[in-house]
Amino acid sequence: MQQAIAVLDSGVGGLTVIKEVMRQLPQEKVIYFGDTARSPYGPRPAEEVRAFTMQIVDYLIQYDPKMIVIACNTATAAAIKEIRTHVSIPVIGVISPGVRAAIKSTRSGVVGVIGTEGTIRSRAYEQALMSISPSIQVFSEPCPLLAPLVEKGLFGEDRTQSVVEQSLRKLIGKPIDCLILGCTHYPFLAKEISRVMGPHVAIISSADETAREISTILSDRGMLATSGQLPIHQFFCSGEPELFKQIAKDWLKEQMFIVPVVWQVPRII
């Protein structure tokens, strides 16, 4: 049986990462866990996010994955170190890939970061950006209302645009030339965000660079899928599956015709 790449998030956000994984690595099987019953993670203390992440990893490890992708910035900031010591397979998060993409993109060296309260509070982006480029200037802004909107499927609507405008107001007029979407839910709102920030601000999602990192790690270790058959992906969510399924179908539409979704809802308390 083909070993899968296990991907987790607090909800539908990690779908923005697996869409890119499926595009760049179509032979790879993905097992995805969205912790929709306990989303959002953003307002929760880091300790709690760490415990939830550990619990999901323990659940996914039963499926013998070859790699774990923490496709949630909040969980990456809170738990990646512990998860790396907890399992013996490669574990990657989404913060370093997002940072690399921003460093490649910025010309002015002035970068914006938006994320959940937990991610912004952790200062993980500032630290990672400055470790590569010490002179970089960073403007960070928590946007607590955005991930819950996406989780409810409310994107592409007028009222969403005004919430996005409100959330980004402190960044408007700042001399940034790129904005890191430091929450995997935000690519669902990329159009709305770009409309507010204007054409001179590049919108950076970590999905593309994360998929590239997965590819490099698997290739270096000789672990890329070799079967000529297209994989059957598996999706799990801890909450009510209907809305999750609808959002996944709409977002992954290109792949959906080859992706039968197997719903097994683990009981998590």
**Which residues are known to be catalytic?**
72, 183
- CA distances from residue 123 to 13, 114, 127 in whole angstroms, order as listed: 20, 11, 6
* CA-wise closest residue to 264 among 62, 20, 79, 38: 62
* Shortest separation between residue 182's beta carbon and ligand DGL, angstroms: 7
* CA-wise closest residue to 232 among 266, 200, 196, 258: 258
CB atoms within 10 A of CB 27: 14
Which single residue is written with the structure tokens 């970068």? 111
- CA distances from residue 115 to 41, 58, 120, 127 in whole angstroms, order as listed: 11, 26, 6, 15
* CB of 77 or CB of 225, closer to ligand DGL: 77
Piece of the chain touching ligand DGL by CB under 6 A; list 59-67, 178-186, 212-220, 238-246: 178-186
* CB of 73 or CB of 231, closer to ligand DGL: 73
* Shortest separation between residue 73's beta carbon and ligand DGL, angstroms: 4
* Near ligand DGL in 13-72, by CB under 6 A: 13, 39-42, 72
Pick from 67, 124, 164, 183: which binds ligand DGL (CB under 6 A)?
183
* Shortest separation between residue 146's beta carbon and ligand DGL, angstroms: 8
The verdict on 9 binding ligand DGL (CB under 6 A) reads yes
* CA-wise closest residue to 21 among 41, 35, 5: 5
* Near ligand DGL in 68-127, by CB under 6 A: 72-74, 116, 119
* CA-wise closest residue to 251 among 42, 9, 3: 9
The verdict on 138 binding ligand DGL (CB under 6 A) reads no
* CB of 50 or CB of 225, closer to ligand DGL: 50
Query: Which tokens sit at 36?
Result: 């929709």
Piece of the chain touching ligand DGL by CB under 6 A; list 4-12, 61-69, 104-112, 250-258: 4-12
Piece of the chain touching ligand DGL by CB under 6 A; list 9-17, 62-70, 106-114, 208-216: 9-17
Q: In sequence order, which ranges of the chain are alpha helices (DSSP H)?
A: 15-24, 46-61, 73-86, 95-105, 117-122, 124-132, 146-151, 158-168, 190-197, 207-220, 241-251, 253-256
* Near ligand DGL in 145-174, by CB under 6 A: 147
* Shortest separation between residue 143's beta carbon and ligand DGL, angstroms: 10
Please state the separation of Cα 77 from the chain's center in Å: 12
Number of residues in contact with ligand DGL under rule CB under 6 A: 17
8 Å CB contact between 235 and 36 = no
* Near ligand DGL in 206-235, by CB under 6 A: none
The verdict on 184 binding ligand DGL (CB under 6 A) reads yes
* CB of 70 or CB of 136, closer to ligand DGL: 70
Give the Cα separation of 186 and 236 in Å (integer): 21
* Shortest separation between residue 39's beta carbon and ligand DGL, angstroms: 5
Chain contacts with ligand DGL (rule: CB under 6 A): 9-11, 13, 39-42, 72-74, 116, 119, 147, 183-185
